[in-house]
Every structure is written in structure tokens, then in C-alpha cells.
Structure 1
Amino acid sequence: MSATVFPTGVTIYNPEKCWGGYTILQAAERGALLIDMNGAEVRMWEGLHGFPNKMLPGGYVMGSLGERNPKYGNQDNTDLVQVDWDGNIVWKFDKAEFIEDPGEEPQWMARQHHDYQREGNTVGYYVPGMEPRTDGGTTLVLSHKNVRVPEISDKLLLDDVIYEVDWDGDILWEWKVSDHFEELGFDAIARNLMYRDPNYYTGFGKSHIAGDWVHTNSMSVLGPNKWYDAGDKRFHPDN
């Protein structure tokens, strides 16, 4: 007989083997939830979605305020924001693409998904001496962009793009994966398969389909590293 009662909350906690601290997680349909080591709620930012949420020094949190209708986009967040402890927006980026989906209110969207990185920290979690900036600096944002590239496929592609965004929410630089197709090293067999089916699917009730040909889940600048220190300029910390 299958189980019908499941434990919830913190089920295992050995203080002698855990580093004390807090965990932020995305509570679906509610918002960003901060808990302590015993699972007690410390703070809930209602309506602050996250893909993912990230804490910044000073009680700031990053996330998004909305998601695009999945009929027309795949995991597209409408924006990327930084809020303070009280939920006030102190930074926002959404000016990547003006979207006019059928039956939806036209709006600017970031189309952010999976990852982003604030200047000052290259790994996305706490590292001594690498604090992310909270009142300035740039932010790397991983987003989507629909493109047509005949060399890859005759079908519409869902491309991944990295934006470098300043404190005013303006794009300073962008990098699309499809622009570097020839550098990725696909052989003839892989190119043939990708051309015919660039991960083309019809999930989530979509009516607007594109081939999710790359599906990037993470990105970051390299940061300080031993290879650059040894003289290999390819591994510049800002690359």
C-alpha cells in the first residue's frame, strides 16, 4: 500500500554537521520564502517569484514579479527585480523585448530564465571577499530570444541570450548562442538531426512553438582563477 502521509518541514537537521544559516526558496504560487535551520518562516515576500530567488547583503532579494503565459513562451519571466526587506523595488530590468501575445496586454519583458549574476560575485552564493553589489553595478541576465537561423534549422528557434544590464536597466551588451554556432563543434550527424528537429515540442498547451535547441541553465563570468594567474589570458576573470 502506498504512503498517504508524508513528513513536511525540516525532517533532518544535525547541527554538528550543518553550517548554521538561512535558506531562501520559491514557494509556488506564494512567493520567496526565507526559513531558518529549523524550518521556521523568517520572511515571506508575497508575489515575488524566482527562477531562482537570490539573497543579497543587507536583506535584499532578487526575483521576478510575473511569468509570461506559457502558451506563448517557455519559462519566460516578465522581469528581474531587486527588492528590499520590506518588498520595495530598488532595481528592475524588463526592457529586453516588447511582447504582444494574442489576448494578453502588450508589455516589455526580460524573458529571464534559470540564472542571473550581480557584479561582485561570480558564483551565485556566499564567498568571502566576493559580495555582490546592492546599490549599483551591472547584472548578467540569462534570457530567451526567438530567432531564425537557416544554418541551424528551417524552424523558429528559442535561442539563449546573455544581457549585461546596468543599474538604470539599460542593456550594455548581449551575446546570443546562435551567433556562435560554428564554434560549438557539432559534427555532420548532429547538425542533420538538429536541423530536422531542434528540440521542437508542444508542451504546456503552447500555440506558439520554437525549437529549444540549446536550453542553457546557467552562466557566469569566470572570476579569479588559477589558470589566468598562471598566464593563460583566455581565462580572464571577466570572460
Structure 2
Amino acid sequence: MINMRTVYPIGTTVYNPEKCSSGYTVLNLYKGWASQARIFQKHVEEAVKEKKEFSSNGMEVIDMNGNIVHAWHMSTNCLRTPLLQKNGNVLLNEMLDTNSTGKFGDGHPREYDWEGNLIWECNVPTELHGVGGTTWRLENGNTLFVYKMMMPDSARLKISDMERRKIDGMLSDCIAEVKPDGELVWDWKSHDHLDLDDWCRNDPAPNWTHFNNIQALPENKHYDQGDKRFKPGNILVSGRSLGFIFIIEKETSEIVWRYYGDHLGGLAGQHSPFMIKKGYPGEGNILVFDNGQSPLRLDCHGGRSLALEINPVSSSVVWVYDNSHYFFNAYGGHCERLINGNTLIAESWANRAFEVTMDGEIVWEYVADPRESTLLMDVHRVPYDYCPQLAAMSKPEEKAVAPPEHTLLNLPEPCERKE
């Protein structure tokens, strides 16, 4: 949609307050790959004016009617899922230099306060290449993040396919946990634990694993019932290029759960698996955005995106959002469960976020302005009082928005063709 030359509504296009889980929506806006690090915060009027002058990466907090109530903007690439913390700070992976490793670049996990001031960062060594996926602040105050490194020769020699072994710059995704002072306390490397011959045959790129999301598992009923695989703190990982998601047991670093899927052929280029928190409908299940891009198996659903809810114990699909071939998002994308049982979905390449009921009814929809050449990579819904800064604001008015009938969008008079 972002490349279309046509006319369509932007902003909040659908809103049914009675059926929505209303609150503020945090938008992760992304544009290309920049080479310098700079972040700044503006008041709403200044932020809107700034956006008209140039398209930037950053985050915006909007109400249900699409009004910006707060914004952070930066000239760097914010890699995947910056998270708004309960204190109003933002935790993210920020790109610093794209020249060293192609599109992955070199970057650091960083934390900014509500006003956009840098208050914490972890300096990733220069021999490592880029950061990606979600950065998590753990209950003990430590930070969990993904980084990339060149696969060592000792691992490359274990690859059976000789042509693939020759690929220059083979990268390996890794996961690190650091203390607030940057001390490394836990480290996990893909090439030490994954099958080096398990790779995407139709995309033998250097980005072998492509971790695009991690989550430290929350408290859940499966562990309470004795299933140790789902111990809180174990790490849920999405390997996009591998076509499966898996769980790492933190204490042993072993993989204790893995899901390829079999719905319409299985996962294909998936993003953003998250275990649903206690107290939410479907608690303990895992939601995942299944892109349907670059099928890894011949029977996969190429060109058709899905939002799947999986029971991790039985590995069965218990709910799916499937709008057939009218819903396709090749890269990016996100889905999360809301407190009323609805699901919030980001269709990144359409610059579209929407909320659906369990029956698949769209009860809220927001379309970002495509003229900004910005991708709406992720969305998160938070309560009106989620952090002190939001709680101090007056609760916004919730105005219903009903989309017009298609016939009302016709031009009043036919265009006259000129020879």
C-alpha cells in the first residue's frame, strides 16, 4: 500500500468504543537505514510540524481517535519493538552505523526517558554486528537483547552444504543478558545450539537465523501445572529465516520447545511470538504473526498472512485471524492479545494497525500517512494510566468512527478524458 498512487482514508478509520479495549496506542515508526544516532522529543505541535519537514523514525502515542498525545523522533533506525516502560521510559535497540555490516549495522540497546534524554546504554563491542529483536528489561533489572556476530570458522566447517559453507559473512544470532553496569551474565549463541544444516533452502542468505523477537516468558498456568519447559524467565525466540519459534531453558541453555506449525503448511517468515500474560483471555497460549512470506516448505501459505494463537502444550492452533489473500504483510508485523479478548495487529507494509474480535470483526483501525514514507512496524495498546506521564493527562474523548459506504467514495462527476 505504501507505494500506491491512489486516494484512501488515513488516521482512525474505524472505532467502535463499545467493542474495543480502549487506551493509548504506541506506534513504532520506521524509515530505512540511517547512519547517525540522534533522538529528540517534541511537544505535540512541534512533533507534527517536524514530521512535515522530514520523515523520521520514532514512536508516537495516539488516542483511539488518532490524536498524537506524545512523540519521540530519531534519525536512526529503531530495530524492532521499542517498548514503553511503566516509568515512561523507552527501551529499544538503536542503529548507529550501517556501513560495517550492510543493513544490520552496529547498534546498542538504549533507554530514553519521557523527554528523550539518553539515560542508559550497553556498548556492544565493535566486532559484533548489529542488534535486533526485542530488548527486555527483566525483573532483576538486567537487560536481555539480541546481537549478531560473524559465525566462527569452527562452526562453518560443520555445515554439510559446501556452497552454503562458502557464503561470505555468515552471521549468527546471539542473545545476551547484561547487568545495568553492562556486565555480561548470560550469553547464548545460535551456532552452538542449533542445527547448522537447518536453514531456508530458498533463501541461503548470510542472515542464517534472523531472530526478530525474543520474550522472557511471563508467569503462566503451564508451569504452575508442572511443565518445566515454560518456566517464567525461559526465552521464547522467533527464528524468521528458520521458519520456527522455540523456547530456550535459561538454566541449561538447551532448546526445550519448538514449533514449526502445520496450519496451511506451517510458519513462513513469522514475527512477534508472545506468550499471553495471566489475566488475559487465552493466558498461557502463544500469539504469533505468520507472514506467509518466502515459504520454507512447498505447501506453505505464500502470499497470505495469519495471526495464530497456539496452545504450546498440544502445539495446536486454537484461534486464527485469516482474511484470505486480502491480508498479506511480507515483512514485519505484530499481534498482541488485549484484556477484553480482542487482538491488536500491525500490518506494517500497509501502514495499518487494527483491532479484531475473536469473531474477526474489525472494531478499530488506524492508517498512518504513507506520504511520510514510514513503515508502521509495531503497535502496542496500553491503559490510559499505564505510566505516570499518561496518567497525568486528561482522559481523551472517545468518538465512534464509522467507515463510509463504498458508494459514497465515488467522484461526484466523471473525469473528462483529454486527448
TM-score normalised to the size of structure 1?
A: 0.70
* 1:223 positional shift: 3.0
Q: What is the Cα deviation at residue 27 of structure 1?
A: 2.7
- Give the structure 2 partner of residue 151 of structure 1: 158
SS in 2 for 1:227: helix
- The answer to whether the aligner puts 1:168 opposite 2:187 as a matched pair is no
- Aligned pairs for 1:38-117 (under 5 A) are 38-47=65-74, 49-50=77-78, 51-69=80-98, 72-76=101-105, 78-95=107-124, 97-99=125-127, 111-117=130-136
| Structure 2 equivalent of residue 102 of structure 1 | none
Determine the structure 1 residue equivalent to 2:312. Answer: none
CA distance in 1, matches of 2:182, 2:95: 17
Gaps of 5+ in 2: 31-55, 160-164, 235-419
Distance 1:228 1:44 in 2: 38
- Between the aligned partners of 1:20 and 1:164, the Cα distance in structure 2 is 34
Decide which structure has greater strand share: 2
How many Å separate the matches in 2 of 1:65 and 1:237? 27
Please give the per-residue CA displacement for 1:27-48, whole angstroms capped at 9, x wherever unaligned: 3324221111111111111217
Counterpart of 1:212 in 2: which secondary structure?
coil
Higher relative contact order (CA 8 A, sep 6+): 2
Corresponding residue number in structure 1 for 2:62? 35
Compute the RMSD of aligned alpha carbons. Answer: 2.8
Instruction: Measure, in 2, the Cα distance between the counterparts of 1:219 and 1:44.
Output: 25
Q: Return the match for 1:11 from 3, 13, 25.
A: 13
Question: Is the CA contact 1:65–1:81 (under 8 Å) kept in the aligned structure 2?
Answer: yes
Q: Which amino acid aligns with 2:87?
A: G
- Residue type at the aligned position of 1:151: K
State the aligned residue count: 195
In the alignment, the residues of structure 2 paired with residue 70 and residue 216 of structure 1 have an alpha-carbon distance, to the nearest angstrom, of: 21
User: What residue in structure 1 maps to residue 23 of structure 2?
Assistant: 21
**Matching of residue 199 in structure 1 with residue 204 in structure 2:** yes
Identity level (%)? 33
- CA displacement at 1:167 relative to structure 2: 1.0
Q: Which runs of 5+ in 1 are unaligned?
A: 100-108, 121-135, 201-210
Relative distance call for 1:238 and 1:114 in structure 2 (3 A) is closer
1:49-108 CA distances to partner (integer Å, 9 max, x unpaired)? 53222111121112244343167234345112111111112221222x215xxxxxxxxx
Read off the aligned partner of 2:123 and give its amino acid letter: D
Match of 1:177 in 2: 190
Aligned runs of 1:220-235 on 2, under 5 Å?
A: 220-235=215-230
Does structure 2 retain, via aligned residues, the 8 Å contact 1:22–1:35? yes
In structure 1, the partner of 2:276 is none
